[in-house]
Structure 1
């Protein structure tokens, strides 16, 4: 790529996130910014072997201090317009998981990632939280596309994405190296117009 080509590249757009991270609400859940006081429960829930086993990036064992470091990093990521992470909480305030968007403002799309603690599986919480985040992504942030991925051996996560109206877009073969073996990664996505049609 020569200098002339570089000069023709578009400038990166300004962050599309509002100045203050909002709190989202659904029928049973409240999605709020993380606080450093959430670190202990994040380590407890995310550090569960079954939770870590079914995610791309969560390690097991979960090291001391990692939750604090992650939570501390979130405000800068938000302020730069690169992503937003929500603590998934019950009405009483209990943190049960996390959901967020990593935003590509140049292409106006985002990758959604999430996990829910094992005691809260099979209650529909993940689907409900993801619906709220997709609504925020399309209605407020005006993103064109949101995508997510899951390990091929974890069809339960695929069912969540299907309920959200996401379409399987491809398979990245041997894409993730986890626990000593290569894993296939299934990618699913939904466009703004598809989400709007599903709502209507």
Structure 2
């Protein structure tokens, strides 16, 4: 049985878990937004550990893997859709979620957004929602997030919400990830349960199972 909420809502965003009945996801729709035909996809994936999908089969395999991780409680992937009154309401904006290390009681966040949805503050809104799930639902102790040292937009977004939620920058982890076959450093930040409890927004997210 999956421990993760099937659906999470914030003021502007709707998150639905891949592999759940709530997902309402056609794999071909997801392929459309993460394949080479998507405008700006090369920029989107520049600092990601994945490359634009080459075939619908690759997308289907990725979604099946995400669903398996959910069922095994190793991690969760949510499809992000803006709510009504947002530009692009109902369309796939990207995905977000986290991996769980149960032994260390740590959730490590991840997210990507299509280029038309950049600059709206969605990263921080999503981080608050995922922190809520990690701390309030899963009883974890730490939420961590990293970015490539050269990824300035991610750096600015992460620093902004980590500071707002009471967390801190921990430092550079050498050769932490691999992008296009090359090892890369990453910069790590973390937020503890205690820090979040002090700075937590009044209502970060609403879980809807």
Would you say same fold, with TM above 0.5? yes
The alpha-carbon distance between structure 1 residues 40 and 172, as it changes in their structure 2 partners (threshold 3 A), is same
State which drifts further: 187-196 or 33-42: 33-42
User: Equivalents in 1 of 2:43, 2:113: separation in Å?
Assistant: 11
Which residue is 1:43 aligned to? Answer: 31
Q: Please, which runs of 5 or more residues in structure 2 have no aligned partner?
A: 36-40, 84-88, 202-209
Whether the 8 Å CA contact 2:50–2:179 is kept in 1: the answer is no
* Mapping of residues 51-200 of structure 1, within 5 Å: 51-55=44-48, 57-60=49-52, 62-64=53-55, 65-91=57-83, 92-165=89-162, 166-179=167-180, 182-199=183-200
1:162 positional shift: 1.9
Give the secondary-structure state (helix, strand or coil) at the position aligned to 2:99: strand
RMSD: 2.2
Greater radius of gyration (CA) = 1
Spell out, residue by residue over 1:54-98, the C-alpha distance to the aligned partner (whole angstroms, 9 max, x if none): 22x1114x2212221111222221121111111111124211011
The ranges of structure 1 where at least 4 consecutive aligned residues each deviate by more than 6 angstroms after the TM superposition are none
- The TM-score with structure 2 as length reference comes to 0.78
The alpha-carbon distance between structure 1 residues 144 and 117, as it changes in their structure 2 partners (threshold 3 A), is same
1:39 positional shift: 2.8
Q: Please, which runs of 5 or more residues in structure 1 have no aligned partner?
A: 1-14
User: Equivalents in 2 of 1:189, 1:141: separation in Å?
Assistant: 17
Q: Pick 1 or 2: higher relative contact order, CA cutoff 8 A, min separation 6.
A: 2
- The TM-score with structure 1 as length reference comes to 0.81
User: Equivalents in 2 of 1:67, 1:167: separation in Å?
Assistant: 35
